[in-house]
Structure 1
Amino acid sequence: MADLTTPIEILHPPILKFGPGTVAEIGAFAAKRGFGRTLVVADAFNGARVDLLALPGAVVVFDRVTAEPTITDLAAALAVAADFAPDLVVGFGGGSAMDLAKLVAVLWTGEQTLHEVVGPDRVAPRRTALAQVATTAGTGSEMGIRALVTDPETAAKLAVQSAEMLADLAVVDPDLTLTVPARITAETGVDALAHCAEAYTNIKAHPLIDVYALSGIRLIGRFLPRAVADGADREARAGLALASLQGGICLGPVNTHAGHAVAYPLGTRHHMPHGAANAVIFPHVLAYNAPARPERTAEILAALGLEPSSDPQTVYERAWGWCRSLGIEMRLSARGLGEGDLAPMATDAAAIRRLLDNNPRPIGEAEILAIYRAAF
């Protein structure tokens, strides 16, 4: 782990609006900057409530964002953008919508292709403004410089990282999450938890990021059960929105580790929503890493309001039980997977070295397969 003498850089949107009612800031931002042609990238639900953004001028809505967007979805969004020529792109939704908006903002002119920008720092200077409006409390994508899209032919996520995809304005209005169903609230909440916990146990963990990570975990421990029990609890919704935002900050300079790598094939191969995949995997990887990060693992349990422990089996049981108490289905077998699906997923996950190399304990295909079997 890094210490206080290790240099670190945190990039974040120059303008962040947080709190109930801040969704109105999008329209004010567009008007002040003189933007009159806005493309909104959203799922069908949020596309139907785009009037909340109060955008001036011409507005076109691409409302076909899916839970795990593919390069085909991106191509469709880019075609709409190329025809419309926006001066502002707005991501309006969860992580999928915001990730797709990032890619549309930097690629719609056709000067670069997706495959030319996969990886770190390959994106040409962006000429179109970008704003993000989060409507779920999970990914923290509104704060970051990464976007992921799935290639269905290879069943792999393509990751693009660039400061050019940092939003000019990020809006986190917790009231937008009041309509999120209990199941999705629980699963996306554990996704935010995984961001914070994986940053806190990461080999790149840094004291500056630890502050955000622990705060996010404590917020989730306090407010996620409340929001699941009562979706109209505005304080709980605000607490989760803040936790998600803090998790997004953690992703920038530190990122995730094996937890997300093991979760990814559940989405790319079996179209399991990202939050659900991370929720199923979270207790297993937390327990697997406990021998390498005993004190931090115990702190994570305590921050969730659980009895602290660094014993792997105890860690697993307490974390699994906490997730299950939120109503999350934790068995892969109950989510439509068969035993024959496990080995191909382990092969896929083992190849995601950009995340696995962040893990505090060595992990390979055999260990990943064991995790899938335990989660089955």
Structure 2
Amino acid sequence: MSMFDRPIEILRPPAVRFGPGQLDTLAPWAAQRGGRAFVIADAFNAGRVDMLGLGSTAVFGDVQPEPAITDLEAALAAAGGCSPDVIIGFGGGSAMDIAKLVAVMLGSGRALADISGPDRAPPRTVGLVQIPTTAGTGSEAGTRALVTDPATMNKVATESRGMLADLVIIDPALTLTVPPAVTAATGVDALAHCVEAFTSKRAHPLIDAYALQGIELVGRYLRRAVENGADVEARTGLALAAFYGGVCLGPVNTTAGHAIAYPLGTRHKIAHGIANALIFPHVLAANAAAVPDKTAAVCRALGRPDGVVFEAAYGFCADLGLDMSLSGHGVPRDDLPAMAREAHAIRRLLDFNPRDLGEADILAIYEAAF
């Protein structure tokens, strides 16, 4: 079977405005849509919403890292009292995911359980703009959103064409104040998106090009941005890498790395980027024998073409100043078996990992990362 035999579809926002100064184009665009905007942000970005140039506007600024259904419900209730013409996600992946869900749920009378899964969301009646302020999740590019169900501690995935933004503004100037540790963690998240799509059983040449370019951009620019946050070229390169990672998520998606990282966020509130960084070297090494050529290409792109795969990936992350131990982030050893059971159950990701990983294999990864 040829690698070109599998059909594939890429969905991307109809308008992507990329580069320094592009934030200034938001206000005229919003005015054409009616002008009543509702901004969804985390607390930090809610404090600088004036940068959007919208004047007095309604803001929900309480989005939490690893948001739960309760966060979504609060944002939806706040939006419902404003009758907005446009929903704007302003922040990292958490804010943008909540913005997607609010945009399709607003006025529908439907709960998350009614729309979760693929292609169940109603058509949206408001505009949707996504403005990332970190270079990591790539959520601005896609049709998928994740929130945590507190009852099960599992991430609930919703996917819909209606959650594709009308406009994406990627202005690297918004990322210049991101602290070094967050820059490092979110950059590895973008890296993980690209690597997992590149090595997935669903990998496709059309997506491989985006994935490998994203990996190369992270390899070239992440350490520079960590060491000098004011390096505009590095920040711009990372913003592009994150967007490419988001493009990879739609038609291919992630695999074992994200499945194993998820319990770190849902159970222990470890930020998504850090969680992926902690797991990334272990999964790359575990999958290496199944995809040797692509693994070698990843190591070359990271500037570490020689030596042991695990040491190359771990060294890349550790050299960014990240604490690479689960224990260092407060994960108790006695919780590792429960985490392994939860991760192993995330079949929507694990079934497409290049190598089959059993529960014992996942537990061994957690033990090695501890």
Question: What TM-score, normalized to structure 2?
Answer: 0.98
Work out the CA distance in 2 between the residues paired with 1:109 and 1:343: 42
Deviation at 1:86, TM superposition (A): 1.1
> After the TM superposition, which residues 278-357 of structure 1 pair with which residues of structure 2 at under 5 Å, given as runs?
278-308=276-306, 314-357=308-351
3-state DSSP of counterpart to 1:170: strand
Q: Could you list the runs of 5+ residues in structure 2 that have no partner in the other structure?
A: none
Equivalent residue in structure 2 for 1:165, among 139, 163, 166: 163
Equivalent residue in structure 2 for 1:223, among 221, 231, 235: 221
Deviates more, 1:110-119 or 1:322-331: 110-119
Q: Is the 8 A contact 1:2 1:205 kept in 2?
A: no
Work out the CA distance in 2 between the residues paired with 1:159 and 1:373: 27
Deviation at 1:111, TM superposition (A): 2.6
Q: Is the 8 A contact 2:256 2:349 kept in 1?
A: yes
3-state DSSP of counterpart to 2:87: strand
Work out the CA distance in 2 between the residues paired with 1:213 and 1:338: 34
Work out the CA distance in 2 between the residues paired with 1:138 and 1:52: 21
In angstroms, what is the RMSD of aligned CA positions? 1.1
Work out the CA distance in 2 between the residues paired with 1:109 and 1:351: 34
Match of 2:97 in 1: 99
> After the TM superposition, which residues 147-226 of structure 1 pair with which residues of structure 2 at under 5 Å, given as runs?
147-226=145-224
Deviates more, 1:361-370 or 1:174-183: 361-370
> After the TM superposition, which residues 225-244 of structure 1 pair with which residues of structure 2 at under 5 Å, given as runs?
225-244=223-242
Q: Is the 8 A contact 1:2 1:203 kept in 2?
A: no
> After the TM superposition, which residues 84-95 of structure 1 pair with which residues of structure 2 at under 5 Å, given as runs?
84-95=82-93
The residue type equivalent to 1:48 in the other structure is: G
The residue type equivalent to 1:150 in the other structure is: T
The residue type equivalent to 2:3 in the other structure is: D
Equivalent residue in structure 1 for 2:361, among 360, 364, 367: 367
Work out the CA distance in 2 between the residues paired with 1:374 and 1:117: 38
Q: Deviations over 1:274-299 (max 9, x none)?
A: 00000000000000000100000000
Work out the CA distance in 2 between the residues paired with 1:2 and 1:111: 46
Work out the CA distance in 2 between the residues paired with 1:296 and 1:308: 14
> After the TM superposition, which residues 138-149 of structure 1 pair with which residues of structure 2 at under 5 Å, given as runs?
138-149=136-147
Q: Is the 8 A contact 1:46 1:92 kept in 2?
A: yes
Deviates more, 1:73-82 or 1:103-112: 103-112
Match of 1:19 in 2: 19
Q: Is the 8 A contact 2:122 2:162 kept in 1?
A: yes
Deviation at 1:77, TM superposition (A): 0.4
The residue type equivalent to 2:74 in the other structure is: A
Work out the CA distance in 2 between the residues paired with 1:326 and 1:168: 35
Structure 1 stretches of 4+ moved >4 Å:
none
Work out the CA distance in 2 between the residues paired with 1:110 and 1:120: 17
Work out the CA distance in 2 between the residues paired with 1:131 and 1:113: 22
Work out the CA distance in 2 between the residues paired with 1:290 and 1:19: 36
Work out the CA distance in 1 between the residues paired with 2:95 and 2:12: 19
Closer, same or farther in 2 for the Cα pair 1:327/1:172, shift >3 Å? same
Deviation at 1:32, TM superposition (A): 2.4
In the alignment of these two chains, the number of paired residues is 370
The residue type equivalent to 1:28 in the other structure is: P
Work out the CA distance in 2 between the residues paired with 1:28 and 1:353: 44
Work out the CA distance in 1 between the residues paired with 2:122 and 2:350: 28
Q: Could you list the runs of 5+ residues in structure 1 that have no partner in the other structure?
A: none
Match of 1:51 in 2: 50
The residue type equivalent to 2:17 in the other structure is: K
Equivalent residue in structure 2 for 1:74, among 72, 75, 84: 72
Question: What TM-score, normalized to structure 1?
Answer: 0.97
Match of 2:271 in 1: 273
Work out the CA distance in 1 between the residues paired with 2:312 and 2:233: 26
Deviation at 1:2, TM superposition (A): 7.0
The residue type equivalent to 1:60 in the other structure is: A
Work out the CA distance in 2 between the residues paired with 1:124 and 1:104: 11
Q: Deviations over 1:195-243 (max 9, x none)?
A: 0000000000000000000000000000001000100000000000000
The residue type equivalent to 2:145 in the other structure is: A
Closer, same or farther in 2 for the Cα pair 1:308/1:255, shift >3 Å? farther
